[in-house]
């Protein structure tokens, strides 16, 4: 039986995550660091098998971390790695580990990489990992004494942490874990079975809603090599796709994308174009259709326009100047001043149709962020549009990187896809002119889009996302060290 009320009785579990060094290399050091790591991997493998496990790991740590800012490593560990780590949680380990009252994890991985995930999503009370040396805020690539936590070093770390108290349960997955498992009252070896499915992310302590980083796929050595080889080809292909979208007439963009490997699927019946009022008619009540889109990338309005076969202007909060220059549609920046933005949107609607993404920022996972209610007060011509995209290699969004590269990364995918689903125009009785509040209208549209996509609704906002991933509110970076990951209590189901 587990003594769940005894603070001193801490069950211990060892964790290993494959290909973990490549995560830091690509997301902090870039492609050149990743290439250097791949070149060093054979040497690390030889040392691993013929010298010691510790020697091989130290080579990987040195190549991965040497010269990196500690703050950058911590940022990636918090914003990028949890998504990848969550795909490696063994179901049997989780079943035992989650049933214990107090939990400790001991791992050969650098503690700085795994601690954020283990404490936030797995519920570890203590993390014992390999410690790296630092100098003036940068990692040296060297390992602090007693070295890499493998074999006897793990056992010594546990003895130092717990003293004479024996942890109740020890979990391991390799023979080198036996020395520390013998310290525990009970020890269990988790069998390595590649066919075992990882624990679903919804079973963890809280859902992974926000994450950053450019890579969609797990950067195994083979995939990392493939990415390096694909990058020059993918960039040229992205430039060609962007040029086709920017230079061709919008009725032809749909077919140009299809011919260049960009799949566009249109569902539902799009509304016909609204006839523009005659110049000087002075009819203040005339309004174009306001398309209310879920927000996946900054390309949402462009694929909306491609699906409609006509350019639809879009209002944006913050996009790079480069994105504005290459955009095939008109983009209008909002000021985040409610009165000024409302006046601007009304003016644009009098000129014709308009697209808006009331989430205010993108979300990669199957969740919808809170919808800003301003749009509901400005017109009754509201058409919800559910946007879904699929990428196999690169994410077309970022919170920490340069946003000017977002469209390039999306189009660098070998065969990216967008699915645009048009829903029926909102009935008049559900609009503000029939007595509904703007928040009721916004929440209803969020609910309709979520039901169409089988997504979960949340009350998270743009500020929540950027505070979780980048340590700022999405507009101005006001501190170097990011805040802790926001709590999942703001999560709500439909």
DSSP per-residue letters across 393-420:
SB-S--SSS-GGGHHHHHHTSSS-EEEE
Q: Which residues of the chain have pLDDT under 50?
A: 1-10, 14-18, 280, 476-494
Question: Is there a contact between 334 and 317 (Cβ–Cβ < 8 Å)?
Answer: yes
How many Å apart are CA 330 and CA 246, to the nearest integer? 11
Residue 30 tokens read as 């870039």
Question: Is there a contact between 303 and 420 (Cβ–Cβ < 8 Å)?
Answer: yes
Domain ranges of the chain: 12-197, 221-275+286-490
User: What was the pLDDT predicted at 8?
Assistant: 31
Backbone angles phi, psi at 301, to 5 degrees: -65, -30
Strand 12-14 and strand 169-172: the pairing is: parallel
How many Å apart are CA 215 and CA 362, to the nearest integer? 16
Among positive and negative, which fits the CA dihedral 226, 228, 231, 233? negative
> Side-chain half-sphere of 458: how many Cα atoms within 13 Å?
25
User: What was the pLDDT predicted at 92?
Assistant: 83
User: What kind of architecture, by CATH, is found in domain 12-197?
Assistant: 3-Layer(aba) Sandwich (3.40)
Specify which residues 130 forms β-bridges with. 110
DSSP 94-114: HHHHHTSSS-EEEEEEEHHHH
Residue 139, classed as helix, strand or coil, is strand
Residue 373: closest CA among 446, 287, 295:
446
Among positive and negative, which fits the CA dihedral 146, 148, 151, 157? positive
For 119, 133, 143, the CA distances from 111, given in Å and listed in that order, are 11, 12, 11
- Average pLDDT over all residues of the chain: 85
Q: Is it true that the peptide bond before 242 is cis, omega within 30 degrees of 0?
A: no
According to CATH, the topology of domain 221-275+286-490 is: Glycerol-3-phosphate (1)-acyltransferase (3.40.1130)
User: What was the pLDDT predicted at 476?
Assistant: 45
Residue 26, classed as helix, strand or coil, is helix
Backbone angles phi, psi at 189, to 5 degrees: -100, 125
Residue 84: closest CA among 220, 229, 196, 231:
220
Residue 92: closest CA among 210, 234, 193:
193
447 class by beta-carbon count within 10 Å (0-12 exposed, 13-18 middle, 19+ buried): middle
Give the contacts of 255 (CB within 8 A, at least 6 positions apart): none
DSSP 69: B
pTM for the full predicted model: 0.86
Counting DSSP H helices and E strands in the chain, the numbers are 17, 16
> Side-chain half-sphere of 244: how many Cα atoms within 13 Å?
21
């Amino acid at each position: 039986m587990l003594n769940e009320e005894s603070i001193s009785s801490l069950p211990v579990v060892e964790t290993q995550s494959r290909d973990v060094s490549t995560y830091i290399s690509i997301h902090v050091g870039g492609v050149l660091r990743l290439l250097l790591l791949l070149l060093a991997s054979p040497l690390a493998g030889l040392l691993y098998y013929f010298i010691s496990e510790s020697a091989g790991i130290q080579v990987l740590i040195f190549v991965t971390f040497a010269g990196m800012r500690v703050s950058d490593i911590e940022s990636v560990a918090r914003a990028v790695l949890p998504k990848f780590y969550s795909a490696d949680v063994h179901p049997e380990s989780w079943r035992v580990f989650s049933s214990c009252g107090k939990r400790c994890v001991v791992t050969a991985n650098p503690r700085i990489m795994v601690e954020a995930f283990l404490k936030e999503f797995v519920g570890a009370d203590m993390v014992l990992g390999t410690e790296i040396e630092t100098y003036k805020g940068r990692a040296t690539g060297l390992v602090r004494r007693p070295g890499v936590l493998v074999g006897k070093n793990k056992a010594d770390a546990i003895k130092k942490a717990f003293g004479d108290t024996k942890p109740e349960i020890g979990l391991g997955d390799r023979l080198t874990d036996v020395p520390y498992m013998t310290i525990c009252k009970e020890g269990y070896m988790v069998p390595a079975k590649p066919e075992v499915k990882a624990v679903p992310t919804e079973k963890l302590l809280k859902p992974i809603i926000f994450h950053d980083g450019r890579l969609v796929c797990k950067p195994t050595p083979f995939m990392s090599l493939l990415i390096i080889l694909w990058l020059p080809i993918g960039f040229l292909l992205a430039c060609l796709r962007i040029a086709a979208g920017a230079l061709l007439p919008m009725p032809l963009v749909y077919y140009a994308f299809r011919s260049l490997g960009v799949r566009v699927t249109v569902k539902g019946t799009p509304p016909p174009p609204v006839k523009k009022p005659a110049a000087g008619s002075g009819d203040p009540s005339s309004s174009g259709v306001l398309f209310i889109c879920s927000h996946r990338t900054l390309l949402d309005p462009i694929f909306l326009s491609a699906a409609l076969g006509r350019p639809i202007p879009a209002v944006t909060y913050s996009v790079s100047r480069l994105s504005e220059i290459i955009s095939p549609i008109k983009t209008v920046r909002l000021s985040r001043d409610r009165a000024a933005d409302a006046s601007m949107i009304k003016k644009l609607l009098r000129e014709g149709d308009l697209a808006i993404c009331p989430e205010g920022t993108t979300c990669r996972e199957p969740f919808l962020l809170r919808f800003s209610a301003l749009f509901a007060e400005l017109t009754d011509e509201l058409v919800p549009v559910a946007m879904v995209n699929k990428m196999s290699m690169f994410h077309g969004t970022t919170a920490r990187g340069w946003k000017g590269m977002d469209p390039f990364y999306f189009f660098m995918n070998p065969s990216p896809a967008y699915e645009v689903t048009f829903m029926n125009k909102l009935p008049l009785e559900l609009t503000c002119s029939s007595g509904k509040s703007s928040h009721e209208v916004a929440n209803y549209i969020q609910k309709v889009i979520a039901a169409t996509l089988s997504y979960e609704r949340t009350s998270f906002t743009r500020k929540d996302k950027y505070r979780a991933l980048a340590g700022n509110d999405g507009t101005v970076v006001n501190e170097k060290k990011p805040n802790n990951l926001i709590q999942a209590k703001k999560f709500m189901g439909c």
